[in-house]
Structure 1
């Protein structure tokens, strides 16, 4: 897919080649690197997930937020086989291109799953993990996860999906809807998204299978797990499961908060991340 006029609401960042993908990213601040990994869903991007909290972190850290291969303004390749192996390889190649040897990976939902896999397969590149609303263990498919695959681009449909994510749907602004819709409405965008994620199984959506206990036990990096108590997309039980099975994990639960901790509780989120990252030395 090529970027068209439909995506003008989402400002482009910098560009680098990584694992055969022209990769869009945002790079702000100085200091120890925090790599911010966005979630999945129609029209998702690093900008939509992280733009609001980057100013709260960039005073003390170098914040690097890439559009993951196939998402946002990063290239989607028709011949690409998109799976966790490709996404890990793309992330590592991206870090190589920026000459970042080690970093704290901060992952929201799907981005958290990518962070976990990277910590297992390339532990020498990961200083620590911050996991927000990250699938772990098994739980029933939720409406929020199911809705993305069947989404048909329109502003009203995008607003309906986004309002599934926070505790208070009023945080979904017209600007947020416009930015996500613009990316999702690019020619071929929704078809591409359906190739990035499997179709929910069965009439009830089936079961979501996140990282299992054995896989989580292989994470050697310290981890901070942040989860909204009222997360309707990835239930709190997933965060509890991850905290029990990652050997060096702390858990913080945010009350009156849904799936987007960084958007719903930005100041508290930045404080938690900063304390954690500074404590890693």
Structure 2
């Protein structure tokens, strides 16, 4: 089998007509992890350090969002919040999960936010990490991420942008993520999702202020202080607007809190989701 040893490929389930690749690990209260939008990203690449720890306490479900990873790419799928949120809710339906905790990273944070707004009864608690979902002037780093053109050199530059500690970003990782980004259909779909001018994509992922302020859920907002991709001000705004929120900012940390501070991140999220 071509993908037999590929850890990024988990289980497969049809959601709204889309064959969706997802990981389903552990037992207990369900937690849905929604990944970010970097080139070549998959749920496993994004959450590989989080899943082992969190799954000791919860049932962790981590799908590849439509247009990313090993989830089927349908030519007529309309990429946008409505379609992506419908896929996430459809996945919960297909797995017979009426309500789950939702953890969203960056782009996935915008999806988590929109899901909580549009389907509040499907969400118990919310975690937003380096989250999009509010309007902000696009950063040069995010413009570079969404404007990625495949090469090992370009991937290495992006990895350096993502992390505060650049020693974490090895040549091997750059080659691995580059190879992921050039698999059949990956780049074509990726470039079509976030076309220039990419400020439009930031705005399209944003939820309305009055809707965010009305979110009733307990919410944990997490951000890396040195994040170049999504500005810290985005999480400060979310923490201000969501009444039942708490904010945790990691110093000496870029956009990948769950990788740069993996143990601390997993401990913080586990405690938040399991406390009574």
Residues 180-195 of structure 1 aligned to structure 2 (within 5 Å): 180-195=177-192
Q: Which runs of 5+ in 1 are unaligned?
A: none
| Bigger Cα displacement from structure 2, 186-195 vs 27-36 | 186-195
Q: Distance in 2 between matches of 1:118 and 1:143?
A: 28
Partner of 1:54: 51
SS in 2 for 1:25: strand
Q: Which runs of 5+ in 2 are unaligned?
A: none
Q: Distance in 2 between matches of 1:71 and 1:241?
A: 28
Residues 99-110 of structure 1 aligned to structure 2 (within 5 Å): 99-110=96-107
Q: 1:269 to 1:93 in 2, by over 3 A?
A: same
Residue 272 of structure 1 deviates from its aligned partner by 1.1
Partner of 2:245: 249
Residue 148 of structure 1 deviates from its aligned partner by 2.7
Residues 72-111 of structure 1 aligned to structure 2 (within 5 Å): 72-111=69-108
- TM-score normalised over the length of structure 1: 0.91
Q: 1:100 to 1:152 in 2, by over 3 A?
A: same
Partner of 1:142: 139
SS in 1 for 2:162: coil
Q: Distance in 2 between matches of 1:224 and 1:11?
A: 27
Q: Distance in 2 between matches of 1:259 and 1:81?
A: 27
Q: Distance in 2 between matches of 1:215 and 1:199?
A: 27
RMSD: 2.1
Q: 1:15 to 1:41 in 2, by over 3 A?
A: same
Which of 9, 24, 29 is equivalent to 1:27?
24
Residue 15 of structure 1 deviates from its aligned partner by 0.4
Task: Give deviations 1:74-105, integer Å, cap 9, x for gaps.
Answer: 11111111110000110011111111111110
- TM-score normalised over the length of structure 2: 0.92
**Number of equivalences:** 274
Partner of 1:133: 130
Residue 274 of structure 1 deviates from its aligned partner by 1.1
Residues 145-156 of structure 1 aligned to structure 2 (within 5 Å): 145-156=142-153
Q: Distance in 2 between matches of 1:206 and 1:43?
A: 22
Residue 138 of structure 1 deviates from its aligned partner by 3.1
Which of 236, 240, 259 is equivalent to 1:263?
259
Q: Contact conserved, 1:112 with 1:132, CA < 8 A, in 2? A: yes
Q: Does 1:228 align with 2:224?
A: yes
Task: Give deviations 1:175-212, integer Å, cap 9, x for gaps.
Answer: 432332222102332121122224235xxx68943334
Q: Contact conserved, 2:69 with 2:186, CA < 8 A, in 1? A: no
Residue 4 of structure 1 deviates from its aligned partner by 7.4
| Bigger Cα displacement from structure 2, 208-217 vs 219-228 | 208-217
